[in-house]
Amino acid sequence: MRLPSIIALALVIAGCSSDPARTGSPGTHARDIRTGTIQSDGIAEPVPEAPSEMPSADASSLQGDVWHRLRAGLSMDRHLSQPVVREKLAFYARKQEFLDRVAERARPYLFYIAEALQRRNLPAELALLPIVESAYQPFAYSRSRASGIWQFIPGTGKRYGLKQNWWYDGRRDVIESTRAALDYLERLNQEFNGDWLLALAAYNAGEMNVQLAVDQSRKAGRGTDFFSLRLPRETRGYVPSLLAVAELLADAGRYNVHWQPIPNIPYFSIVEIDGQIDMDTAARLARLSRDEFRHLNPGFSQWATDPDGPHRILVPVAAAVEFAQGVAQLPPDERVKWQQHVVRSGDTLGGISRRYHTSVDALRTTNSLRGNLIRVGQVLLIPSGPPAGAGTFTVAATSLPAEPVAAPLAAAAPAGFHTVRPGDTLWDIGRRHGVSPAQLAAWNGLGGQTLLQPGQKLRVSMPESPPRPASLVAAAYVNQLPAASYTVRQGDSLWLISKRFGVSVAQLQEWNRLRHGSVLQPGQTLIVSEPDAATQDV
């Protein structure tokens, strides 16, 4: 992009009452989520067909608070006469701190989701579904391997077009997962003849299970509405939870709760770039901390974006022009650091990946390799990962309950400790006390899938003496490298462990020198991340 064009565009945008247009080079531009236009070299071009995930708001909707907007769009019968709904309502009405944390987490995403619902003419209640699903945590990860604010399991995510690989997980991408969730919910609503409660139950339990419950209830002469069905216990509480949260939004004053205001204007702009970029470089260009940047772009799992796309970055509206200009002016060799490696006798993909702090999958993808076969003299292009200890950009995240649980009475935590509150995660606690989630996990001997319990006391400052090493270092927390080792538990298999730590079975076998068909023993210690080169022969 020529500098005069950039300056001219900046002046045009600066003269507008709002900040709609975002631009860059012909391969780097930002879509405005209000006007539905693309700006390229300062010329506004209409989008041929604005996709459903790029909603556009009219002027009247760009005022006030998103919660007010959603309140006006509530349309479902909340069934307040049902005991289970009243029970959930009383429960959530006591959880003001939880609602405050949810609002803070939802702040970057809620306007976008409200716009998407309006474009599709869907009930505003659906914007509250991530509260029940994930408490609006983009890195939420459940025992059933569901991920993201909409909690897609891998299989359903793939059915609805959510790409999942070493580089990227569309289930965590707020743009893609919102599109997929609304596609799925619309289809379920049609399948259950417009009954939103059955559609929501099917979103939680699966459409086959709900249809079977409907058929059985009809055959037994009972009703076929949600409250007449014999459904799994989780689902019987799931739909009433959503109805209860909707009632709290509809009549907050009656229940003495408060919804922290979220401005009814776009929080982010979507800047489209023409290739891969290092995440730290992108964060620097956006003038965001690494933590802020990853929460806007939670779909990317590694130190750089997926080389095969999506090639788009979310940044705050106010930063979009500067970011797009910065990316446009960035020399290609500074977007992602690449090296070349000439294969020598004895080289393996595993050994090369460890040497350059990358992964076997990344080497295969970058060099279009189908298997592990490489030949002497072959030149491999190496995507340079972070230096040792720098950590991946994201790995997975803490598990969390679908809703807050009642906290037992507990004495105040002593200095240097934190008493877990309903809805707390290691990420929340770490941010509050200025330490990393992995450090908290190490100090407290917590595993990657450990659920925090209200009333539990966690150490949040450096112990006076070094703690004993945990058998499982927290692999599932953002901004850290995967854990070095894992102690096998009863029922574990290489496949389960590989999924837990985001590595392949072949890698686990290579790192631990296991033969095909090896039987794991409880108490056995496995290496679950790429070992340092210095430890290879230990």
- From CA 428, how far away is CA 435, in angstroms rounded? 10
Tokens coding 458: 């966690």
- From CA 528, how far away is CA 315, in angstroms rounded? 33
- From CA 151, how far away is CA 402, in angstroms rounded? 10
- From CA 54, how far away is CA 77, in angstroms rounded? 29
**Strand, helix or coil for residue 26:** coil
Residue 154's closest CA among 138, 172, 136, 175? Answer: 172
- From CA 229, how far away is CA 152, in angstroms rounded? 24
Give the residue numbers marked as catalytic.
133
One DSSP character per residue, 102-152 reads HHHHHTTTHHHHHHHHHHHT--GGGGGHHHHHHTT-TT-B-TT--BTTTTB
- From CA 368, how far away is CA 536, in angstroms rounded? 27
**Which residues have C-beta within 8 Å of that of residue 156, sequence separation ≥ 6?**
184
**Strand, helix or coil for residue 339:** strand
Contact 508, 519 (CB under 8 A): no
- As a whole number of angstroms, the longest Cα–Cα distance in the chain is 75
- How many beta carbons lie within 10 A of that of residue 96, not counting itself? 15
> HEC states along 232-259?
CHHHHHHHHHHHHHHHHHHCCCCCCCCC
Residue 282's closest CA among 260, 314, 310, 259? Answer: 314
- From CA 19, how far away is CA 8, in angstroms rounded? 15
Q: Identify the bridge partners of residue 381 per DSSP, sorted by sequence position.
A: 340
Which backbone phi and psi does 430 adopt, to 5 degrees? -60, -45
Tell me the pairing of strands 37-40 and 43-46. antiparallel
Tokens coding 214: 């409907």
- How many beta carbons lie within 10 A of that of residue 238, not counting itself? 22
Tokens coding 104: 């803070």
- From CA 308, how far away is CA 300, in angstroms rounded? 12
**Strand, helix or coil for residue 313:** strand
**Which residues have C-beta within 8 Å of that of residue 452, sequence separation ≥ 6?**
398, 420, 424, 425, 426, 458
Which backbone phi and psi does 111 adopt, to 5 degrees? -60, -45
Which backbone phi and psi does 171 adopt, to 5 degrees? -65, -25
